[in-house]
Amino acid sequence: MSAENPLPSHEAGASANAGPPSAEPQEEGREVAAAAAGRTPLDRAADAAEELYRLRDTFFPRDPAEKTAALRAHAHAALAHLDALPLEQRKSPQQRGLYEFLRGKILDVFPDYHKEAEDHLSKAVKLNPSLVDAWLCLGNCIWKKGDLAAAKNCFLLALSKGTNRKILCQLSMLERSMAQGSEDQALLVEESIKHAKEAVMLDITDGNSWYNLGNAYLISFFVGGSWDHTKLHHSVKAYQNAEKDKTMILNPDLYYNFATADRYLENYERALRGFEAAALKDPGLGADTEVQKIISLLDKIENAMKGQLRSKRLASLVSSLSNVKVKTSHKKATIRILSEGLNKGVAVLGKIVLLIKHDNVAPLYYLTCDLDQSYFILSVYGLRNDAIKEGDRVVLFEPYYRILDTSWKEKVHL
Q: Domain holding 387: CATH number?
A: 2.40.50.550
343 and 386 fall within a common domain: yes
Q: In 128-251, which residue ranges form alpha helices assigned H by DSSP?
A: 132-144, 148-159, 165-179, 185-202, 207-223, 229-243
Q: What's the DSSP call for residue 88?
A: G
Q: Is residue 85 part of a domain?
A: yes
Torsions phi, psi for 406 (to 5 deg): -120, 130
Collapsing DSSP states into helix, strand and coil, what is residue 355? strand
Closest CA to 186 of 155, 139, 148, 228: 228
Q: Is residue 17 part of a domain?
A: no
CB-based contact 362:231 (threshold 8 Å): no
47 and 178 fall within a common domain: yes
Domain count of the fold of the chain: 2
Q: Is residue 304 part of a domain?
A: no
Q: Is residue 329 part of a domain?
A: yes
Letter for the amino acid at 375? Y
284 and 323 fall within a common domain: no
349 and 242 fall within a common domain: no
Q: Which of 235, 268, 298 is the last residue of a domain?
A: 298
Q: Which of 298, 321, 351 is the last residue of a domain?
A: 298
From CA 304, how far away is CA 356, in angstroms rounded?
8
315 and 353 fall within a common domain: yes
41 and 164 fall within a common domain: yes
Q: Is residue 385 part of a domain?
A: yes
401 and 322 fall within a common domain: yes
- Mean pLDDT per block of 10 residues along the chain (414 residues) reads 38 33 42 53 93 95 94 97 89 93 98 97 96 97 97 97 96 97 95 98 98 98 92 98 95 97 95 97 94 94 80 69 80 93 94 89 90 92 87 93 86 68
Q: Which of 298, 330, 348 is the last residue of a domain?
A: 298
Closest CA to 261 of 390, 121, 360, 340: 360
206 and 257 fall within a common domain: yes
pLDDT of amino acid 311: 59
From CA 313, how far away is CA 183, in angstroms rounded?
50
Looking from the CA of 200 toward its CB, the CA atoms found within 13 Å total 21
CB-based contact 242:210 (threshold 8 Å): yes
pLDDT of amino acid 26: 46
- Per the structure, the complete domain to which residue 240 belongs is given by 30-298
Torsions phi, psi for 366 (to 5 deg): -130, 135
232 and 316 fall within a common domain: no
pLDDT of amino acid 411: 76
380 and 265 fall within a common domain: no
Q: Is residue 348 part of a domain?
A: yes
CA dihedral over 347, 348, 351, 354, signed as positive or negative: negative
Closest CA to 207 of 159, 172, 179, 249: 249
pLDDT of amino acid 32: 39
CA dihedral over 41, 45, 46, 48, signed as positive or negative: positive
285 and 321 fall within a common domain: no
294 and 314 fall within a common domain: no
From CA 273, how far away is CA 256, in angstroms rounded?
10
Q: Is residue 3 part of a domain?
A: no
| Contacting residues for 47 by C-beta, under 8 A, at least 6 apart | none
CATH of residue 179: 1.25.40.10
From CA 9, how far away is CA 223, in angstroms rounded?
22
Instruction: Tell me the chain's radius of gyration from C-alpha atoms.
Output: 28
CB-based contact 238:274 (threshold 8 Å): no
Closest CA to 357 of 326, 390, 401: 390
Q: In 224-286, which residue ranges form alpha helices assigned H by DSSP?
A: 229-243, 252-264, 268-281
Collapsing DSSP states into helix, strand and coil, what is residue 211? helix
Looking at the DSSP bridge assignments, the partners of residue 125 are none
Q: Is residue 44 part of a domain?
A: yes
